[in-house]
């Protein structure tokens, strides 16, 4: 188990085809696009009426894409239509991007599975799968983007599919409202970001990340670049639901179907961070490359200060606003904001070029894996709640543990893991995220983050209290998980306990190797 | 098999067994009691093995013959060892846990609601407590430290009194707030030294942010607050009365008897020895907090009308002595602090049991509604007098010895104004006598206030078996403290030696 994963992360691992032609190196992306077409065609051929095998088709698609991502050798030279010299192109599928692809595809698999289990009425189900595959392809592309146009296209692909997914249930006014809000704010923030990118292009005369970085290194900071970096940050902050661009998130996550909310919370967020790692903090991945953080007049410190304040505000806002929530799905939205805050905190303190920078990036990669498992499990409970009880209000869980001990125990474990308590995997993820922050001497920021963890216990413990401690009788409609539900939740939550004690070092090592092998900008 | 590993994980085996067996209430109770009692035997074996060695061995943590250390997690430079050991102080704490474990388990026999769940969580709690006292690796320590929280939350929240849900979450939040501060300090230390090994950190403590006294003071403060919440020291004590009062009797016993000691133990093991310079700098604050705790706890205890609350606040006062003795940094003071932890573990556990025995019969704890128990229940009154007078500090019982040593040690300390703090602190002894005596007068003396003669009965055999060992042990320590002092003394000397160069 241990040696396999790091081996995969190495450039040209033994399991890969040697010297693949260029298109072969983006096999997962190509396959995702192809599979979207396959689903469309099958739908056309079949005509009207529901067919449950669309789920199977999509699950198989995700699994194949996952396998392709595993077996495609990452490399640091680009593929695609780029005009740059020396093999620089639009897309660079390196080890870091592969790590993210695996996360996206696993999330996609679980989303499809949850949609099946949710029994929400999805009109025209195949279309939903097509959109989902589009989102996955966009996310995979984004993780490897190494050029502005490709980056922006992928970014928008993830955004627009997100709008469609969130608002897909047109019969449900809340879902429609969620989609509408998402489009409004999303379009504005994209425009702002695009404007920022155009300023970058204007100042540097290049689309390639690598060339931009070089050009920035030889340039003095200018007001235009200051504006540019703020605008680009705003675009990222919107998608990552970071303060001060987080306001849309609770409404959208609450209104969207639970599996879609899970997809947005994990895959979309991971996609944004995968790009942000390149653009906002290229430095830590390579030793020599200058970064966008150098855009500002006083070097990196001003950007760092902005990021530090944004991260502190994000986690405080997420955790404190969550305290008053009674809707579990909405609470998880705030929880995802808080987690974005923790990630941003680690990103903020990174010193470009230092070993601690690499550690920080691998810590972020590692915690995304854990966050994926935790979120999936938590949103699955919401899926079951909305299916059986017709509501995501926590009150529906009152006295739940007496009737469904296993399901309740698993959910409690997930919530403790989200809080970051040992011996769960959530603790390990937190430990990794805080380590660079403390190491760089940001004691106040670390203290704020850690105390936020204590605050978050209050709302994470609320469902646990209702399930186990509540003295009144159960409400009329409670979730009634069956055998399959129990199995799914148990399979998702068991790793949280096991990884809290054993084997997590192999995943962390996988992340570390990926970062070490990752490309220059 | 290593004794320390065995004692830590045996309760877990019991908890797992309960998941499969123990549908019958009686089976669950006996499994719970059986595994608790087995750890008692192991605790005495550990004590015996530790004491059997040559004089002074194992004085420094990490060097006893019981030690074990195997690599556990390795990812890049992130290395964690599964390391366990005891020194004179922690073996004493393990013994205390071992003594209280079966007693509290027996006290839980009266619980009717889902005994299987209760004992499974109780055994998990035991595992966490033993693990915390024997862990030699910070990562391991922190895991065990938090593992204690989870069962505690459920034990208070499910089996507690009327306000149990609020009490449980308040306890959980307070202790978690403390432990995250602690975690921050651990990470900072780890980052500087690159190790989680407690004994190695002790050796290299001077390198932690060398030449940055302000940073060292900050880290000390983070650790101190983290542990002080557990102790609990004024002004971090507000979770305690609620949790104590709402918890069921066996959990109150464990909470007061063992969990509060975790705070004192952590200070002795980590906060103080790692930052000796910061301790000396912070001495006026530490002494003030200790003295305020002693006096404030006593005053608030005096004002209580609820019997259990009175006992709960007496803990705040008595744990203040621990901090005073510890902060004095003299051999007598630190020995007194360790003894006081042990003595308080025995006596507060005993007092909660006494209250519980009576509560089971009359279903209230209002002191004003009691009266004249001495004439009705002479046997119960006798054992109750042992517990309460021991807590008051009657010579011949353990409370007297430990409090005396704390005051001697603090009075003889070379730290500034030590004598002043000590003299103010002794007011607490007087106040302690007042609230205990007033309570005894209300409950045991005078005439009966309510007619419940027909329901009242003397303690049952089970209750005698719970109460008598605690009284006897308190008497043993009170009469012949050397049985304990000889074991802890080398470790205490090693502890105070760390501060020799800092105390002028």
Tokens of A366: 């590692």
Q: So what's the pLDDT on residue A300? A: 54
Range 438-457 of A in CB contact (< 8 A) with B: 438-439, 443, 446-447, 450-451, 453-454, 457
Q: If you average pLDDT over residues A15-35, what whole number do you get?
A: 69
Q: Which residues sit opposite B73 in a β-bridge?
A: B80
Q: Cα separation of B100 and B130, whole Å?
A: 12
Query: Residue A316: which of A305, A304, A308 has the closest Cα?
Result: A308
Q: Give the whole-number percent of chain A exceeding pLDDT 90.
A: 14
CA distances from A456 to A319, A453, B252 (A): 6, 5, 26
For residue A314, the surrounding DSSP H or E stretch is helix A300-322
Q: Using a CB–CB cutoff of 8 Å, tell me whether A5 touches chain B.
A: no
Q: At which residue do the structure tokens 């490897």 appear?
A: A144
Query: Residue A308: which of A366, A243, A361 has the closest Cα?
Result: A243
Q: If you average pLDDT over residues A22-43, what whole number do you get?
A: 85
Which of A359, A423, A512 minimises the CB distance to B147?
A: A423
| CB-CB contact of A311 with A240 (8 Å) | no
Q: At which residue do the structure tokens 């609770």 appear?
A: A250
| CB-CB contact of B292 with B233 (8 Å) | no
Tokens of A219: 């340039």
Q: So what's the pLDDT on residue A479? A: 83
Q: In this structure, how many other beta carbons lie within 10 angstroms of the beta carbon of residue B56?
A: 13
DSSP-based three-state secondary structure for B197:
strand
State which of A158-167, B81-90, B110-119, B292-301 shows the largest mean pLDDT: B292-301
Q: Is the pLDDT of residue A280 over 70?
A: no
Q: Using a CB–CB cutoff of 8 Å, tell me whether B269 touches chain A.
A: no
Q: What is the largest CA-CA distance in chain B?
A: 73
Q: Spell out the residues 6+ positions from residue A333 whose beta carbon is closer than 8 angstroms to its own.
A: A249, A250, A252, A253, A254, A261, A265
pLDDT tens digits for range A119-134: 665 667 788 889 999 9
Range 185-214 of B in CB contact (< 8 A) with A: 187-188, 190-191
pLDDT tens digits for range A55-66: 888 899 999 999
Range 235-294 of A in CB contact (< 8 A) with B: none
Q: So what's the pLDDT on residue A1? A: 39
Mean pLDDT is lowest, of B31-40, B50-59, B180-189, B206-215, for B50-59
Residue of A nearest to B142 (CA): A422
Tokens of A505: 């070092």
Q: Using a CB–CB cutoff of 8 Å, tell me whether B154 touches chain A.
A: yes
Q: Is the pLDDT of residue A2 over 80?
A: no
Mean pLDDT is lowest, of A45-49, B319-323, B471-475, for A45-49
Q: Cα separation of B77 and B300, whole Å?
A: 50
Q: Cα separation of A382 and A187, whole Å?
A: 29
State which of A70-74, A293-297, B93-97, B416-420 shows the largest mean pLDDT: B93-97
Contact (CB<8Å) B191/A427: no
| CB-CB contact of A256 with A166 (8 Å) | yes
Q: Cα separation of B479 and B86, whole Å?
A: 26
Q: Spell out the residues 6+ positions from residue B469 whose beta carbon is closer than 8 angstroms to its own.
A: B99, B103
A170, burial (CB in 10 Å: exposed 0-12, middle 13-18, buried 19+): exposed
Q: Using a CB–CB cutoff of 8 Å, tell me whether A470 touches chain B.
A: yes
| CB-CB contact of A119 with A387 (8 Å) | yes
Residue of A nearest to B175 (CA): A454
Q: If you average pLDDT over residues B417-434, what whole number do you get?
A: 89
Q: Using a CB–CB cutoff of 8 Å, tell me whether B76 touches chain A.
A: yes
Residue B375 DSSP one-character state: H
Q: Is the pLDDT of residue B60 over 90?
A: no
Q: What angle do CA A389, A392, A393 make, to 5 degrees?
A: 100
Query: Residue A53: which of A62, A43, A67 has the closest Cα?
Result: A43
Mean pLDDT is lowest, of A460-464, A509-513, B280-284, B390-394, for A509-513
Q: If you average pLDDT over residues A210-232, what whole number do you get?
A: 73
Q: Using a CB–CB cutoff of 8 Å, tell me whether A427 touches chain B.
A: yes
Q: So what's the pLDDT on residue A375? A: 93
Contact (CB<8Å) B169/A461: yes
Q: Print burial letters for A59-97: b (CB count within 10 Å at least 16), e (below 16).
A: bebbebbbebbbebbbbbebbbebebeeebbbbbbbbbb
Q: So what's the pLDDT on residue A23? A: 67
Which of B78, B142, B191 minimises the CB distance to A438?
A: B191
CA distances from A461 to A21, A423, B100, B414, B480 (A): 52, 16, 29, 47, 47
User: A481 to chain B, minimum CA–CA distance in Å?
Assistant: 21
Contact (CB<8Å) A435/B74: no
Q: Is the pLDDT of residue B69 over 60?
A: yes
Q: Is the pLDDT of residue A94 over 70?
A: yes
Residue of B nearest to A402 (CA): B114
Q: Using a CB–CB cutoff of 8 Å, tell me whether A227 touches chain B.
A: no
Q: Cα separation of A445 and B184, whole Å?
A: 10
pLDDT-based confidence at residue A49 (cuts at 50, 70, 90): low
Q: Cα separation of A203 and A198, whole Å?
A: 9
User: B176 to chain A, minimum CA–CA distance in Å?
Assistant: 6
Mean pLDDT is lowest, of A6-15, B47-56, B457-466, for A6-15
Q: Using a CB–CB cutoff of 8 Å, tell me whether B360 touches chain A.
A: no
Which of B78, B143, B187 minimises the CB distance to A422?
A: B143
User: A200 to chain B, minimum CA–CA distance in Å?
Assistant: 37
Mean pLDDT is lowest, of A90-99, B55-64, B224-233, for B55-64
| CB-CB contact of B307 with B355 (8 Å) | yes
Q: So what's the pLDDT on residue B334? A: 92
Q: Which residue has the higher pLDDT, A50 or A232?
A: A232
Q: So what's the pLDDT on residue B36? A: 92
Q: Using a CB–CB cutoff of 8 Å, tell me whether B177 touches chain A.
A: yes
pLDDT-based confidence at residue A249 (cuts at 50, 70, 90): confident
Q: What angle do CA B327, B331, B333 make, to 5 degrees?
A: 45
Query: Residue B42: which of B31, B53, B34 has the closest Cα?
Result: B34
Q: Which residues of A touch B193 (CB under 8 A)?
A: none
Q: What share of chain A is helix, strand, coil (3-state, %, to 5)?
A: 75, 0, 25
Q: So what's the pLDDT on residue B497? A: 87
Q: Cα separation of B409 and B152, whole Å?
A: 35
pLDDT tens digits for range B200-246: 888 888 888 888 888 899 899 999 999 999 888 888 888 888 888 88
Q: Using a CB–CB cutoff of 8 Å, tell me whether A461 touches chain B.
A: yes
Q: Using a CB–CB cutoff of 8 Å, tell me whether A354 touches chain B.
A: no
Q: So what's the pLDDT on residue A353? A: 54
Contact (CB<8Å) A508/B78: yes
Q: If you average pLDDT over residues B426-435, what whole number do you get?
A: 89
Q: So what's the pLDDT on residue B290? A: 92
Tokens of B257: 């008897």
Q: How many CA atoms lie within 13 A of A156 on its CB side?
A: 12
Q: Cα separation of B348 and B334, whole Å?
A: 20
Q: Using a CB–CB cutoff of 8 Å, tell me whether B329 touches chain A.
A: no
Q: So what's the pLDDT on residue A373? A: 92
Q: If you average pLDDT over residues B289-311, what whole number do you get?
A: 91
Residue A93 DSSP one-character state: -
| CB-CB contact of A490 with A481 (8 Å) | no
Question: DSSP states of A36-78 as a string?
Answer: HHHHHHHHHHH-SS--THHHHHHHHHHHHHHHHHHHSPP-SS-
Cis peptide, bond prior to residue A423, ω within 30 of zero? yes
Q: Radius of gyration over alpha carbons of chain B, in Å?
A: 22
Q: Is the pLDDT of residue B355 over 80?
A: yes
Q: So what's the pLDDT on residue B115? A: 85
Q: Which residues of A touch B143 (CB under 8 A)?
A: 422-423, 427, 501
User: B56 to chain A, minimum CA–CA distance in Å?
Assistant: 35
pLDDT tens digits for range B134-158: 998 888 999 999 888 888 988 998 8
Q: So what's the pLDDT on residue A123? A: 64
Contact (CB<8Å) B184/A439: no
Q: Which residues of A touch B183 (CB under 8 A)?
A: 431, 434, 450
Query: Residue A381: which of A259, A248, A514, A252 has the closest Cα?
Result: A259
Q: Using a CB–CB cutoff of 8 Å, tell me whether A468 touches chain B.
A: yes
- As a whole number, the mean pLDDT across chain A is 79
Q: If you average pLDDT over residues A108-114, what whole number do you get?
A: 91
Q: Cα separation of B85 and B218, whole Å?
A: 28
SS3 of B411-446: HCCCCCCHHHHHHHHHHHHHHHHHHHHHHHHHHHCC
Q: Is the pLDDT of residue B196 over 70?
A: yes
Q: So what's the pLDDT on residue A471? A: 67
User: B158 to chain A, minimum CA–CA distance in Å?
Assistant: 5
Q: Which residues sit opposite A327 in a β-bridge?
A: A393
Q: What share of chain B is helix, strand, coil (3-state, %, to 5)?
A: 75, 5, 20
A48, burial (CB in 10 Å: exposed 0-12, middle 13-18, buried 19+): exposed
Q: Give the whole-number percent of chain A exceeding pLDDT 70.
A: 82
Q: Which residues sit opposite B70 in a β-bridge?
A: B82
pLDDT-based confidence at residue B95 (cuts at 50, 70, 90): very high
Q: If you average pLDDT over residues B279-297, what whole number do you get?
A: 91
- Complex-level ipTM: 0.80
Q: Cα separation of A409 and A509, whole Å?
A: 30
Q: Using a CB–CB cutoff of 8 Å, tell me whether B149 touches chain A.
A: yes
pLDDT tens digits for range A437-486: 887 778 888 888 888 888 888 889 888 888 887 766 677 788 888 888 88
For residue A452, the surrounding DSSP H or E stretch is helix A443-464
Q: So what's the pLDDT on residue A120? A: 64
Q: At which residue do the structure tokens 């004192």 appear?
A: B264
pLDDT-based confidence at residue B293 (cuts at 50, 70, 90): very high
- As a whole number, the mean pLDDT across chain B is 87
Q: Using a CB–CB cutoff of 8 Å, tell me whether B164 touches chain A.
A: yes
Q: So what's the pLDDT on residue A258? A: 87
Q: In this structure, how many other beta carbons lie within 10 angstroms of the beta carbon of residue A316?
A: 18
User: B126 to chain A, minimum CA–CA distance in Å?
Assistant: 16
Instruction: State the count of interchain CB pairs (< 8 A) between A and B.
Output: 90
Residue from B180, B208, B217, B246 to probe the interface with A (highest A Cβ count within 10 Å):
B180
Q: Is the pLDDT of residue A11 over 50?
A: no
Q: Cα separation of B233 and B318, whole Å?
A: 10
Q: Print burial letters for B113-127: b (CB count within 10 Å at least 16), e (below 16).
A: eebbbbbbbbbbbbb
Q: Which residue has the higher pLDDT, A91 or B409?
A: B409
Q: So what's the pLDDT on residue A119? A: 67
Which of A421, A458, A509 minimises the CB distance to B169?
A: A458
Helix axes A504-517, A95-118, angle to 10 degrees: 130
Q: Using a CB–CB cutoff of 8 Å, tell me whether B157 touches chain A.
A: yes
| CB-CB contact of B449 with B371 (8 Å) | yes
Q: At which residue do the structure tokens 């404030």 appear?
A: B296
Query: Residue A303: which of A356, A357, A360, A351 has the closest Cα?
Result: A351
Contact (CB<8Å) B180/A421: no
Contact (CB<8Å) B180/A505: no
Q: So what's the pLDDT on residue B346? A: 92
Tokens of A52: 């449950």
Contact (CB<8Å) B74/A508: no
Question: DSSP states of A395-418 as a string?
Answer: GGGTTHHHH-HHHHHHHHHHHHHH
């Amino acid at each position: 188990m241990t040696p396999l994963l790091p081996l995969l992360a190495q450039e040209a691992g033994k399991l890969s085809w040697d010297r693949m032609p260029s298109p072969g190196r983006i096999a997962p992306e190509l396959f995702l696009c192809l599979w979207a077409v396959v689903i469309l065609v099958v739908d056309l051929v079949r005509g009207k009426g529901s067919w449950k095998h669309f789920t199977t088709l999509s699950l198989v698609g995700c699994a194949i894409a996952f396998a392709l991502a595993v077996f495609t050798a990452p490399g640091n030279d680009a593929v695609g239509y780029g005009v740059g010299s020396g093999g620089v192109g639009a897309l660079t599928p390196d080890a870091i991007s592969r790590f993210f692809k695996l996360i996206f595809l696993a999330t996609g698999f679980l989303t499809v599975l949850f949609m099946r289990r949710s029994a929400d009425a999805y009109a025209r189900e195949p279309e939903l799968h097509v959109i989902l595959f589009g989102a996955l392809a966009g996310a995979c592309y984004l993780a490897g983007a190494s050029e502005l146009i490709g980056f922006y296209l992928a970014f928008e692909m993830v955004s627009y599919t997100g709008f469609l997914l969130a608002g897909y249930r047109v019969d449900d006014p809340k879902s429609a409202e969620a989609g509408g809000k998402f489009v409004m704010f999303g379009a504005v923030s994209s425009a702002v970001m695009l404007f920022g990118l155009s300023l970058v292009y204007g100042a540097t005369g290049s689309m390639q990340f690598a060339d931009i970085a070089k050009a920035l290194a030889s340039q003095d900071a200018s007001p235009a670049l200051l504006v540019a970096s703020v605008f680009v940050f705003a675009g990222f902050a919107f998608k990552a639901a970071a303060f001060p661009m987080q306001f849309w998130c609770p409404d959208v996550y609450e209104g969207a179907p639970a599996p879609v909310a899970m997809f947005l919370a994990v895959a979309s967020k991971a996609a944004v961070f995968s790009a942000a790692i390149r653009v906002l903090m290229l430095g830590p991945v390579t030793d020599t490359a200058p970064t966008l953080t150098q855009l500002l007049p006083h070097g990196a410190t001003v950007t760092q200060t902005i990021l530090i304040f944004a991260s502190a505000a994000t986690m405080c806002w997420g955790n404190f606003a969550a305290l008053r929530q009674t809707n579990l799905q909405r609470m998880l939205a705030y929880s995802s904001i808080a987690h974005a805050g923790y990630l941003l905190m680690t990103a903020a303190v990174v010193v470009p070029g230092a070993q601690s920078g690499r550690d920080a990036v691998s810590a972020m990669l590692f915690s995304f894996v854990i966050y994926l498992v935790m979120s999936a499990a938590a949103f699955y409970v919401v899926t079951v709640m909305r299916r059986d009880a017709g509501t995501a209000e926590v009150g529906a869980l009152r006295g739940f543990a007496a009737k469904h001990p296993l399901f309740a125990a698993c959910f409690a474990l997930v919530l403790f893991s989200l809080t970051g308590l040992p011996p769960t995997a959530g603790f390990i993820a937190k430990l990794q995220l805080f380590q660079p922050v403390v190491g760089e001497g940001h004691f106040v920021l670390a203290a704020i983050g850690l105390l936020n963890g204590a605050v978050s216990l209050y709302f994470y413990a609320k469902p646990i209290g209702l399930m186990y401690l509540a003295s009144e009788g159960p409400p009329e409609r409670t979730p009634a998980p069956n055998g399959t539900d129990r199995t799914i939740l148990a399979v998702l939550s068991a790793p949280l306990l096991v990884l809290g004690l054993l084997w997590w070092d192999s995943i962390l090592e996988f992340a570390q190797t990926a970062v070490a092998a990752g490309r220059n900008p | 098999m290593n004794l320390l590993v065995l004692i830590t994980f045996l309760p877990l085996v019991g908890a797992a067994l309960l998941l499969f067996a123990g549908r019958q209430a009686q089976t669950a109770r006996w499994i719970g009691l059986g595994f608790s009692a087995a750890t008692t035997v192991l605790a005495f074996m550990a004590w015996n093995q530790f004491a059997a060695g040559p004089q002074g061995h194992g004085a420094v943590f990490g060097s006893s013959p019981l030690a074990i250390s195997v690599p556990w997690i390795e990812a890049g430079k992130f290395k964690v060892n599964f390391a366990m050991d005891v020194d004179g102080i922690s073996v004493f704490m393990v013994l205390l846990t071992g003594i209280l474990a079966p007693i509290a388990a027996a006290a839980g026999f009266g619980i009717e609601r889902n005994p299987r769940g209760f004992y499974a969580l109780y055994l998990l709690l035991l595992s966490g407590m033993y693990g915390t006292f024997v862990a030699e690796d910070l990562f391991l320590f922190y895991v065990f430290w938090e593992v204690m929280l989870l069962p505690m939350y459920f034990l208070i929240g499910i089996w507690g009194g009327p306000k149990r849900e609020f009490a449980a979450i308040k306890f959980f939040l307070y202790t978690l707030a403390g432990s995250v501060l602690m975690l921050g300090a651990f990470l900072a230390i780890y980052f500087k030294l690159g190790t989680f090994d407690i004994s190695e950190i002790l050796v290299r403590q001077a390198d932690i942010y060398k030449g940055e006294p302000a940073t060292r003071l900050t880290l000390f403060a983070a650790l101190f607050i983290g542990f002080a919440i557990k102790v609990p020291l004024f002004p971090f004590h507000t979770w305690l009365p609620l949790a104590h009062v709402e918890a069921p009797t066996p959990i109150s016993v464990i909470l007061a008897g063992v969990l509060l000691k975790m705070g004192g133990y952590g200070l002795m093991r980590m906060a103080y020895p790692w930052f000796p310079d910061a301790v000396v700098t912070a001495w006026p604050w530490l002494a003030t907090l200790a003295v305020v705790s002693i006096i404030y706890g006593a005053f608030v205890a005096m004002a209580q009308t609820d019997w259990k609350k009175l006992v709960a606040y007496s803990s705040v006062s008595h744990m203040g002595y621990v901090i005073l003795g510890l902060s004095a940094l003299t051999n007598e003071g630190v020995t007194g602090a360790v003894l006081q932890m042990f003595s308080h573990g025995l006596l507060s556990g005993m007092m909660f049991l006494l209250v519980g025995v009576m509560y089971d019969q009359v279903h209230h704890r209002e002191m004003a509604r009691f009266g004249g128990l001495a004439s009705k229940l002479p046997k119960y009154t006798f054992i109750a007098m042992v517990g309460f007078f021991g807590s008051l500090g009657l010579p011949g019982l353990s409370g007297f010895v430990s409090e005396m040593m704390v005051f001697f040690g603090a009075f003889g300390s070379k730290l500034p104004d030590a004598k002043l703090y000590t003299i103010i602190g002794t007011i607490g002894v007087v106040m302690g006598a007042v609230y205990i005596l007033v309570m005894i007068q209300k409950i045991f003396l005078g005439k009966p206030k309510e007619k419940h003669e027909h329901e009242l009965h003397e303690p049952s055999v089970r209750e005698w078996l719970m109460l008598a060992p605690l009284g006897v042990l308190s008497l043993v320590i009170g009469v012949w403290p050397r049985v304990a002092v000889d074991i802890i003394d080398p470790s205490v000397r090693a502890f105070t030696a760390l501060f020799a160069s800092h105390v002028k």
